[in-house]
Amino acid sequence: MAATPLLEGDRGAGGGRLREARGLALVATLLVLIVMAILVAASVKAAMTAVRTAGLEYHEARVFYASEAGVEAALSQLKLALQDGYLSDTELQDISPPSYEDFSFDSFSVLRIDTAQVEEISDGPYAGLYALTQGVEVYSLASDRGGNVSGVILAAKAQAIPIFQFGVFYNEDLEATNGPPMDFAGRVHSNGNIYLSSSNAWYMEMITTPNKVFHDRKDNHDIKSGVFIFNPETTDSVQLNFDSRTIPGPEAFKAASWTNFAGRLRTDAFNVDSLQLPLPQGVPAIELIRPRETGDGDAERSVKFAWSADTYVQVDFTNLTNYSAVCGGGPPPVSPPPDLPTVTVTRSAGQVPNASQICDMFPFRWSDFYDGREGELKDVLEIDVDAIDNWVGTDPNRTIEVIYVEFTLPVNINVFDADTRDAILDGELNPAVRMINGAELPNRMTVATEQPLYVWGNYNSVDKKPAALAGDGITLLSSVWQDEQNRPTAQAFDDCEGNVSAAFPCAQFLSYASLWRNKTAGETWVNAGVLAGHWPTPCDHEAPGCTGGYADFYGGGIENFPRFLEEWRLGGTRVSLHYRGALISPFTSQQTTGTWNGTYYVPPQRDWSFDTDFRDPRLLPPGTPNVGYVVRTALREAF
């Protein structure tokens, strides 16, 4: 049977449907490709946008951090400017932004906010102290080469804290290893390390250092278990049994301090700041007690006791004068009476005493007494407080509040005549200042000198007034001290006549010094802030190469910062020294360099405490220096 042929129309319709199906597939493919292209383009655009955004955020972050670096730089410069306790307009204007290659500071300023005022510090390691506080605001606007701009504003408080508001302040290492009991009330701060080892020491307030605290001696390994720090939360004194060696990790140290002492022992683990002394950058701390000098700038003049003195006493050993008719020639008992250094007094305002009154108020004595620690006879200018009181009377034009004593010294005693050399048995000048008859001060009073300063008997113990003593080293002589018991006899001076020179100390003096023994002290009261040098232990016994020891190696510590020359013991009972004030040591002694060895004295029963009156700015001693501290209060972006 023959096949049926397809109709032409049928062939055409089938081919059309096939072509139509193929066309639809092509369109779908194209649509898919278009969609994929759109998606790829969108992804690429999104990725490029993300890259651009990330780059923009990166540059914005960099310029923001640059603006923050600007305020940090300002903060550092503020701390330096505050070293003298005062921020001048010039110092604020001189504060500048840092220099970075890729950034510029289009606007930068440091401005005062309101006026400076005295306020109590409310938080931080110095809470409870008073400060002269100046509010400041730092504005830092930075930009980069791409035109990105960012700014921040820092609010801060520049605080000048009077140094006598600390119970103890050391600029160098502080050592406290007392023998007889010591119960000390008052803030304790050292810019160096702190060494605490004692059988009976109680600290009632905050102890701070930007460095380390060691429960050990500095001179040799000797850990005693009698150091206690008061915990105000438990109202108990808690034993110190850890330190920066046994707990080196900062977080663990902080936890131990909070647990044991409510955070009252603070070190670098707490990021404690070093407290800047009231001196311009690069000026050594001993300048605080140095005389007036022609090269002193405004900054030095604003902080040196010599420039704040209303009464300036000059003792000139290069210009001796026969004062026997006015001042007398002794003691010591030398005949004929030796010449004496010329003593002149100048005052910034008011009346000036005449020559006879100067002799009464500021008498001078050669070889007046023997210092067993220094091993020398002291040539002493005395400040007779009773005589000053008599001269001042009720006349406001005679008021004396700050006394500075300057000594002008020759090369050696060979420039003196034989009669004067005969009065100097040890063959060398050993100038010193000594306060006498100071139980009651006529008014608030500060006395300063770069030489050693001695206090004889009760000082400021009657009707206590704001008072301070500043010198190279401070030695306290008890209420029963007698010069006659602490210098060679008249016969020794007679025997040495004509034999003394700078190269030849009298043999009788050498014999006396070898046989000298300390005398029994009497109960004594002293109320005054003390600023002086100390004699430090040379090195930490654990440091490589340090050959520690006890005799003539230990510096004496805070317990011997006010020095002693007597046996503060009667029979088997300790004699008490009652002290109220503040113990401040910004530098190492330059004149009082005799080493501590514990043989020339027996320590007192130490009834020592911070004078809480010093917390009232109105009751601070005249001429009180300040330490600078800057605290940030807020940081915000500037739009």
Helix (H) or strand (E) holding 39: helix 8-81
| Two structure tokens written together for 190 | 């050292």
Residue 14 has pLDDT above 80, yes or no: no
Q: What angle do CA 226, 227, 230 make, to 5 degrees?
A: 125
Both tokens of 196, joined, read 């605490």
- pLDDT of 334 reads 62
The count of other CB atoms within 10 Å of the CB of residue 102 is 11
Model confidence band, residue 90 (pLDDT cutoffs 50, 70, 90)? confident
Q: Is the pLDDT of residue 250 over 90?
A: yes
For 204, 206, 228, 259, 261, the CA distances from 232, given in Å and listed in that order, are 9, 10, 13, 12, 8
Pairwise CA distance, residues 583 & 586, whole Å: 10
The CA–CA distances, whole Å, from 329 to 340, 367, 431, 475, 632 equal 8, 12, 17, 25, 61
Range with the poorest average pLDDT among 24-28, 155-159, 405-409, 591-595: 24-28
- Per residue in 469-516, pLDDT tens? 999 999 999 999 999 999 999 888 888 888 888 888 889 999 999 999
pLDDT of 558-596, one tens digit each?
Answer: 999 999 999 999 998 999 999 999 999 999 999 999 889
pLDDT for res 52: 47
Q: How confident is the model at residue 168 (pLDDT cuts 50, 70, 90)?
A: very high
In angstroms, rounded to a whole number, what is the distance separating the alpha carbons of residues 636 and 639?
A: 10
Closest CA to 595 of 221, 219, 169: 219
DSSP classification of residue 246: T
Per-residue pLDDT for 160 more than 60? yes
CA-based nearest residue to 167, from 623, 583, 586, 473: 583
Q: Out of 16-25, 142-151, 211-220, give the one with best mean pLDDT.
A: 211-220
Taking 3-state DSSP, the helix, strand and coil percentages for the chain, each rounded to the nearest 5, stand at 25, 30, 40
* H helices, E strands: number in the chain: 10, 31
Q: How far is CA 112 from CA 116, 177, 331, 562, in A?
A: 9, 45, 58, 41
| Integer Cα distance of 466 and 472 in angstroms | 21
Q: Is the pLDDT of residue 54 over 50?
A: no
Amino acid at 107: S
pLDDT surpasses 80 at 354: yes
Q: What is the DSSP letter of 275?
A: P
Query: Is residue 315 pLDDT above 60, yes or no?
Result: yes
Residue 333 pLDDT grade (very low, low, confident, very high; cuts 50, 70, 90): low
CA-CA distance, 343 to 340, in Å (whole number)?
9
Going edge to edge, which strands form the sheet with 194-196?
174-176, 194-196, 213-214
Confidence of residue 18 (pLDDT cuts 50, 70, 90): low
Contact by Cβ (8 Å): 180, 574: yes
Asked if the model's pLDDT at residue 520 lies above 90, the reply is: yes
Residues in the chain: 639
Closest CA to 105 of 153, 141, 158: 141
Q: Which residues, at least 6 apart from 627, have a Cβ–Cβ distance to it below 8 Å?
A: 85, 160, 161, 163, 169, 275, 276, 277, 278
Nearest residue to 178 via CA among 598, 559, 574, 605:
559
**Contact indicator for 366, 379 with CB cutoff of 8 Å:** yes
Token match 């110095």: residue?
126
Q: What is the mean pLDDT of residues 272-278?
A: 85
Give residue 30's identity as a one-letter amino acid code.
Answer: L
Q: What is the reported pLDDT for 7? A: 43
pTM of the entire predicted model: 0.82
Q: How confident is the model at residue 430 (pLDDT cuts 50, 70, 90)?
A: very high
β-strand pairing of 340-347 with 364-371: unpaired
Task: Please name which of 4, 5, 3, 7 lies closest in space to residue 15, comparing C-alpha atoms.
Answer: 7
| pLDDT attached to residue 43 | 63
The pLDDT of residue 328 is 63
Q: How many CB atoms lie within 10 A of CB 400?
A: 24
Quick one: residue 498, left, alpha or beta (phi over 0 = left, psi -120 to 50 = alpha)? Answer: left
Q: pLDDT digit string (tens) for 214-231?
A: 999 999 999 999 999 999
Bond prior to 331 in cis (omega within 30° of 0): yes
What's the whole-number mean pLDDT along residues 20-27? 65
Could you tell me the CA-to-CA distances from 390 to 395, 457, 468 in Å, in that order?
A: 10, 19, 21
Place of tokens 């001269």: 391
51 pLDDT tier (thresholds 50, 70, 90): very low
Is residue 295 within 8 A of residue 301, CB to CB? The reply is no
- What is the enclosing helix (H) or strand (E) of 420? helix 418-421
Q: Provide CB contacts within 8 A for 17, sequence distance 6+.
A: none
Q: Which residues pair with 110 in a beta bridge?
A: 138
Percent over 70 (pLDDT), the chain: 88
Distances (CA, A) of 636 to 48, 65, 153: 32, 13, 5
Pairing of strands 474-477, 562-563: parallel
CA angle 13, 19, 21 (to 5 degrees): 105
Local structure of 616: helix, strand or coil:
coil
Q: Has residue 352 got a pLDDT over 90?
A: yes
User: Where residue 237 falls among pLDDT bands split at 50, 70, 90?
Assistant: very high
User: In angstroms, how far is the first alpha carbon of the chain from the final one?
Assistant: 99
Q: How confident is the model at residue 25 (pLDDT cuts 50, 70, 90)?
A: low
Residue 92 predicted with pLDDT over 70: yes
Output the pLDDT for position 16: 59
Tokens 């023998």 map to which residue?
A: 179
Position 465 pLDDT exceeds 80 = yes
The predicted-structure confidence for 364-396, as pLDDT tens digits, reads as follows 999 999 999 999 999 999 999 999 999 999 999
pLDDT band, very low/low/confident/very high, at 17 (cuts 50, 70, 90): low
360 vs 282, residue with greater confidence: 360
The confidence score (pLDDT) of residue 639 equals 64
pLDDT of residue 106: 86
Q: Which helix (H) or strand (E) holds 491?
A: helix 490-495
Query: Residues 203, 182: contact at Cβ < 8 Å?
Result: no
Token pair, residue 219, equals 């001179």
Bridge partners for 168 per DSSP:
188, 583
Phi first, then psi, for residue 183 (nearest 5°) are -110, 105
pLDDT of residue 259 exceeding 90, the answer is yes
Q: What is the pLDDT of residue 4?
A: 47
CB count within 10 Å of CB 202 equals 16
Distance of CA 555 to CAs 89, 367, 444, Å? 43, 26, 32
